[in-house]
Amino acid sequence: MPAGRWQFEIGTIRCAVLTDGYFSYTAREFFPDAPAADLLRAGIGERIVCPYTCLLVQTGTRTILVDTGAGPGTPTAGAILPRLAVEGVRAADIDIVVLTHAHSDHIGGALDGDGRPVFRRARHIISEIEAEHNRRALWPFGRMIDAIDGETEIAPGVRVIPAPGHTAGHMAVMIGSNGERLLNLGDAASHPLHLKIPHWKNGFDWESERGVATRRRLMERAEKEKARVMAFHFPFPSAGRVTAKEEGWEWKPGW
């Protein structure tokens, strides 16, 4: 399993990336339209092993978990509760769970082995569009679901941003304090090459062209606001600096 945790601060906000686990995918799933020779030159083999990276955000008044991993029953994942415990955080301490979208590797950790909610004191924030498209998957959460529309501040310094393409109601998360910012792309990009060569499609996207447009928009915002960038499937520690380069952005891990 990849390294499990990495702590950093965004101004006065304490953060930790927590690896729920990992999975192996084919390169073609990540890059369906990329020329094979270009992938080889970029060091991409036939398979890509990537982490499932959740983000713990502690603002001082709110404890927030962005995405929950794949959950129990997944052979190479399901470690979010032990990872939280290392941070001194119990399930009951989580005030807000942000679900960037309703794919199983993002919401699975919010349910236990019996299909019951794990974070029972938390608001579970998801976009209205995503909730509408995934009623069955979200049914176990009942009234804990808080479906929101548009860009919204959910806690001081923490905003959710519509980022459709990967799914119809996919969201990104911007965290800011004292002039420092981090943009969590969720699955708007699944690999750093999706930033370096943003026109390469992501094979996991529900609507590829929209996904490409959203990726560019988010990165232009990150560049304008001088935000660091993380993504759920990026190599550990999943957060890093970005630099504009040619047609895209170079991502370098670390704070």
For a pLDDT cut of 70, what percent of the chain falls above it? 99
Domains contained in the chain, CATH given: 5-247 (3.60.15.10)
pLDDT of residue 152: 98
CA atoms within 13 A on the CB side of 94: 28
Alpha carbon distance 230, 22 (integer Å)? 16
Q: Which tens digit of pLDDT belongs to each residue from 38-47?
A: 999 999 999 9
Question: Looking at per-residue confidence, does 122 or 247 come out higher?
Answer: 122
Q: Where are the alpha helices (DSSP H) in 122-236?
A: 128-133, 135-138, 193-196, 208-224
Burial 112-132 (b: 16+ CB within 10 A, else e): eeeeebbbeebbbbbbebbbe
Whole-prediction pTM: 0.96
CA atoms within 13 A on the CB side of 111: 20
- Spacing of C-alpha 13 from chain mean position: 18
pLDDT of residue 74: 84
Alpha carbon distance 25, 50 (integer Å)? 8
Instruction: Give me the mean pLDDT over the 126-130 stretch.
Output: 98
Q: Which tens digit of pLDDT belongs to each residue from 135-183?
A: 999 999 999 999 999 999 999 999 999 999 999 999 999 999 999 999 9
Q: Where are the alpha helices (DSSP H) in 54-142?
A: 80-86, 104-107, 128-133, 135-138
pLDDT band at 225 (very low <50, low <70, confident <90, very high): very high
Q: Where are the alpha helices (DSSP H) in 135-207?
A: 135-138, 193-196
Beta strand segments in 149-225, E: 152-155, 158-162, 171-177, 180-184
Instruction: Give me the mean pLDDT over the 114-126 stretch.
Output: 97
